[in-house]
Structure 1
Amino acid sequence: MTKSKPRAEQKSSQLRARAEKQLAGDFQGGQIAPGEDVQKLIHELRVHQIELEIQNEELRETQAALEQSRDKYQELYDFAPVGYFCLDEKNLIRKVNLVGAELLGLERAFLIRQRFSRFIAPSSQDTFYFHRKKVLASKDKQVCELVLVNKDGTRFHAQLQTEAVVDDAPNSSHLRIAVMDITARARLEEELTAANLELEERVEVRTRELTKANLELREEIVLRRQIELELRKTEENYRIVVENANEGIIVTQDSEIKFSNSKFEDISGYTRKELASLPIVDFVHPDDAAMVMKYHTLAMREHVQPQAYNARVIDKAGQIRWLRNKGILIEWNDRPAILSFLDDITAQMHSEKVLKEIDEQLKNIFLESPIGIAVYDAHGLMYGVNKSYLTIYGMSDPTRILGTSLFDDPLLSSETKERLLAGNAIREEVVVDFPKSADGFMFDPTRAKELYLDVLITPLGMSMGDAVVGYMVQIQDITEEKGAQRSIHALSQQLIRAHEAERLMISRELHDRVGQDLSTLKIGLDSLRREHLIQSPVFLEKLTAFSNLTQQAIMVVRDLAYELRPPGLDQFGFVRAMTQYGKDFSEKTGLDVDMSFTGMEDSSLDFDAEINLYRLIQESLNNIYKHALARRVVVRMVASFPKIILRIEDDGLGFDPVQRMAGATAEKRMGLHSMRERATLLGGTMRIRSRLGKGTQILVELPHERKLHDSEKNSADR
């Protein structure tokens, strides 16, 4: 008050000075009215009037400036990026800007005198209560975060910056609140929290994995140390075994002895130092030196396992000993060598009693064996047969066949005879047709059926040298076995036909009933979704999901029906059906499938042959896709009388065919076995060629009967 009073007095004096100056201008040159008091009074009144007019003019200017300032403030207030609310002491909204009204989804006029807590979510009511209480108590700006609810019930996260404003009335104040929508930030914070939790879980899992791996590594280190210790023990055990073996053990390399055990020292009479680098020929009997060197050189040069043989050696004392040599090819100092196990058989070779007993036993075995046996001399002339041989052929008098030549036997092919002359053992199946046999004088002509024989022909004397001293023929009657095989073959064909019939029935059921029911279900779901009777978005979303799931089920059922029974095989024929399958398979798997069929239009395949070939190619493509990791598959089928040749090649990983077939049997996987069985049922063969990293080739050969054209049929009829 003390400061404002001098200012008011100063302003009043300035105003009076301006009024007097103006009044002096108005009366300049005029006459002064008589009467000093009256004149003075009039002067005061005129000055006061001018003062009032000047004050009025200043008030109007001030009001205009205030209105302009108020308009600018209102624009800033309404178009601020945050919502502003003014609340009275009863928590009622007194003022709100446009952004605040937009946040709550209501018109600004509707919000006036509405309780602000009405728009606060129940979960945040306590938060706002304590926030408001804190603002009123501290009189400072306070910040809090809570959840607000707009007109349509949508919740959003908001940040409130609140300060208390004191009114002119005593003990009265209102709240000024700035509201910012922080929903996006809250969502990001929630995602960040979830990501942090997930990261912590991953770190914890990874820590456990690393801890486990560390423990496993430690266990592996301990295990390796144990293995090294065991290896040392094993090496010591092997040394003990080798040194205490009952047979001589030597390692030969470059025709010299590189290692020998104690037993061989006893056999040879030489010390280990004397045997070191001793040439083999200096130890072997001169009559057997060439044979021993031949076996040794052949094994080293051809890298084949050496044959077992008997040879004579001369010990240090000059005594002749017979040794049985059984060798294997090994690596010694990173070079090929032969590890030989030598048995001293000197006593056996010189024991006549043992030889006679063995000879008698062999004779009894020969005569009483259930296997038919015939023996021939070095020229191939028969000089002995046993009872089983005669029984199998239905003969009673052996003299009718003794002296006949093995190489004149009409049942043996010329190729077989050449292999026998080369010293090779032969095993094959032959068929004797008694009614058509030219050797009726030799065989029983009353037998009216075919005889199937399993024949094994072995050259004799090859283990003792180069010359063949004779031949032994062993025969077994496998006629009943062949009959059983034919029966099994017929049953297998019936089983496959029944299997395909069952596939056809299941395929039709899937397509005609299950497929149609699923299609009807999908139509109903789509119709229900389009009728607009359901307003719930959640329910509509579920209907759409069920419709899509039903469509997927329809596609799966169609694919399964197609796999079970390819419809194109009946409608379009084998070539078109197979070509379409290759295209579909390529699109589904991404494999580059190249198929071509030559001469198949003139083939006379029945449906059994077509479906078996279809399944064979189908199984091959599935195996390649599952196991070969191939990029390209080539399928070639050529019909050229008298055979149909199917070749399937891929550029995949490859495998060992023998090992894979054995493993498939042990693991009860029937893929390759099923393919081979189908080829056999069609009277054909299947061969597999494969190498690791070089891909795989499957070659199937089937008998083919050429289809006669009309002109050929007419010619045949004439």
Structure 2
Amino acid sequence: MSEFDHKDSKSTTEALMLLRERAERRRHLITRVVDDSTPDAMQRLVQELQTHQIELEMQYEELLMAQAEAETARAEYADLYDFAPIGYLTLDSRGTIQQLNLTAAQLLGSVRQKLLRRRLALFVAESYRLTFSKFLDTMASSEQRQTCELSVVRENGDMLYVQLEGTQVATSEQGVHFRLVLLDVTSRYMATQALALSEARFRQLFEHSADAVVLIRELNIVDCNAAAMQMLGATDKSQMVQQPISILVPEYQPNGSRSEDLIRQHYASLRRNGSHRFEWYRRTFRGESKWLEIVLTYINVGGEQLVHSVWRDITVQRAAREQLRAEKEFSENLLDNSVDGIVALSHEGHITAWNREAEQYSGLSATNVIGRNVFQVFPKLDTPEWRQIFERVLRKGERVVQTAISFIARPGHYDAYIVPLRGENQAEINGMLVVVRDMNERNRLIEETTRLRLSQQQEVLSAILTTEEAERKRIAEALHNGVGQLLYATKLHLERRATPGVPRDEVHSLLNEAIRMTRTISFELTPGILEDFGLKFGLEELVRRIPRQSLPLHLHVVGLEQPLPKLMEVAVYRIVQELLNNIIKHSEAQEAFIHVVREDDKLLISVEDNGQGFEPDPNYAPRHGIGLPGLQNRVRLLGGTLTINSRPSRGTIIGIELPVR
């Protein structure tokens, strides 16, 4: 109860108490004036007067109580009217404000005293004044409640949107007047305008979207745009609108699932998540097959919840994806069935591919290495050399071949071919591919081929040397047995029969020289000393036959106590013989050194002189003669190697390494 109401109740109670005290005093006074000697008529009159007085006093009390109740009701009405959260106005038939509460005054932006006797139309925006005038006319001609919305310009110039609800009230004193309710609906109006704008934008996007858009209610199509019609080959919207979403959908999807079952599953996911994306197979009105990517979303259109479905044709992308998947499967099968270990690395060195052969080589499965850095998987590769190799491949785009790589899980020798991986832009390097090839079988084949070739060479050399030595022996025997014997016979004949006039000593000297030369040629052609005493003695004899005054020779022989194969002894003897002949003929040397050393299964020959030397060419061909090319062929047939170290005026060193079998 307000303070005003409390004061009114207190004053009423006090007035009644005073009234009762006065009535009691008056009644007491009247009773004392009339005594028993008073006539009966007088006493009855006094009693009636007292009764009437009491009735009047009771009526007065009731009037006071009614007045108090009226005051309380008036106070409550004033409080409800003035402080109500909505605006109340009373207008006359011309629309003049006769009465308004505080909220209405606040909505109009002024104080109540300034607004009284002013026309409400002055506060209505010009664009809505005709609406307001029709609103008043409608209220005047109808007893029903009327309503309208319009814009009001406040006294400070601000604009707000209000809703007016009113009805006419007819009184005998003031004639027809109107009672109005004024509601501020600015926020609702703005929201409505924003919603209308949003719906207009949605409609524009819906109609002009490049994607097919379909609105669905309860699994039926309620609207679609031109792109959806074009996608399905519809010529009129009625072909799709009010049709179930299963139109043109085959009974079964390509994966074997029933289309109706999948539709229920997709809509269950939509209800659960509020949005859902999936791929769908369907046909068009032209009988074509299409794959669509469908996105379902709940939207509110005009207060109604619909399903907004966006369709995108992914037929080409899906075909490309299937092709890519097939190519990926082919690549994976190719990788897994490759006889080489194949490893792909990203630009940062992380392993992105690892085939079965790589697992066999390394003993590591793909699940343990994919995504890891190669230097973490193989710490032994974390060296400056390998990092430089990767730098050359990734930065410079070089192709690198690294040989003789070993694996712990698989002993042997392997070669690694490291090539850059380029993207669509060939200038960009995305990573590198490492192909590890098992070279054990290749090396075995090479060794077998080498052995076969050496065996063939040995057979050829054996045949050549056998033929050569047989021919040398035949010539030597012919010289010894034919020419030599003839010379001996001539000498004996001359000794017995001296020819007059011919100097005897000179003839004998010529014959002795011829016999000596014949023996020398016979020895050189077929050194029988090899067969009789071995290679070491034969080389020593070869050195002794060269006069020291013409060329000092120093022979160093080691490890020839064990005999060599016959053909090899002959070949070594001929090689040293040829080298000494070259020194004598071409080097103009003052001294020479010969080393023949056997070490296990190798025979090393080194011939060194301090002669004029020469500039060797790649084919080991000297400036004069054909001795060295023939020597090279002989060494090659024996499966050996020949090296020449010579410079003009600095002498020559020829080294030969032969395998001993």
TM-score by length of 1: 0.33
**Which structure has the greater CA radius of gyration?**
2
